[in-house]
Chain A
Amino acid sequence: EPEVTQTPSHQVTQMGQEVILRCVPISNHLYFYWYRQILGQKVEFLVSFYNNEISEKSEIFDDQFSVERPDGSNFTLKIRSTKLEDSAMYFCASSEARYLGAPGELFFGEGSRLTVL
């Protein structure tokens, strides 16, 4: 069964460092997402991406965050200068199609755990 893969599974970084989280979505999917989940809290939407541009982003997704689909297969999330509060599990997701009122089934990766010291 096709799956979304994420790397690294766990990254530890120092505050102020740049971090890039990588995702390989399912190959025929058109919509891409990043979510995060701080330990013990709910899953939070960060950004959605379609047709090589951001289609929607949350208040969390400020200027410190950026996304890119550099080569048609990878989908990356960059955090320019990490803060302690960026420590969380980051989930990438992709979906094949979207219909009016019905987002297509989102397939989530296993997540990348980011620890900022």
Chain B
Amino acid sequence: LAKTTQPISMDSYEGQEVNITCSHNNIATNDYITWYQQFPSQGPRFIIQGYKTKVTNEVASLFIPADRKSSTLSLPRVSLSDTAVYYCLPPDGAAGNKLTFGGGTRVLVKP
């Protein structure tokens, strides 16, 4: 299992860009990095997944450098509703068919 490290919390303001960096020094060659979002009392929700370079969807961008030892989730122009916990997850398990959630990064968006 690739151990991940990400900030415990981050504060931001509405309209700003939020960047959350996760380090995963011993990520396996075939592993993708996946990010999930969780609002209070709700199940986690998939945001984005990538292997290398840059991936973008309607919600976020994911930047993974060539060495793949870290990844950065970028949330453009956050709103109050983006206040949530964000998890960086490599696959886990012998078959890679489960996700192991760490503590995540608690993002608080202020007005």
A33 touches B98 (CB 8 A): yes
Q: Which residue of B lies closest to A49 (CB)?
A: B97
How far, in whole Å, are A105 and B97 apart by their CA atoms in the complex? 11
Distance in Å: Cβ of A30 to nearest Cβ of chain B: 10
B49 touches A44 (CB 8 A): no
A43 touches B98 (CB 8 A): no
- Chain B 16-55, CB-CB to A under 8 Å as 1, else 0, gives 0000000000001111101010100111111001010000
Interface residues of A (CB under 8 A from B): 4, 31, 33, 35, 42-45, 48, 50, 55-56, 89, 91, 93, 98, 100-103, 105-111
Distance in Å: Cβ of A60 to nearest Cβ of chain B: 12
Residues from chain A with Cβ under 8 Å of B87 in the complex = 43
How far, in whole Å, are A105 and B73 apart by their CA atoms in the complex? 17
A109 touches B93 (CB 8 A): no
Distance in Å: Cβ of B84 to nearest Cβ of chain A: 13
B100 touches A45 (CB 8 A): yes
How far, in whole Å, are A54 and B108 apart by their CA atoms in the complex? 38
Q: Which residue of A lies closest to B89 (CB)?
A: A103
B80-111 with Cβ < 8 A to chain A: 87, 91-104
Residues from chain B with Cβ under 8 Å of A89 in the complex = 41
User: Could you name 27 residue pairs across A and B whose Cβ atoms are closer than 8 Å?
Assistant: A33-B98, A35-B101, A42-B102, A43-B101, A45-B98, A48-B98, A56-B97, A98-B96, A98-B97, A101-B29, A101-B31, A101-B91, A101-B96, A102-B30, A102-B34, A102-B49, A103-B34, A103-B96, A103-B98, A103-B99, A105-B46, A105-B49, A106-B44, A110-B42, A110-B43, A111-B42, A111-B43
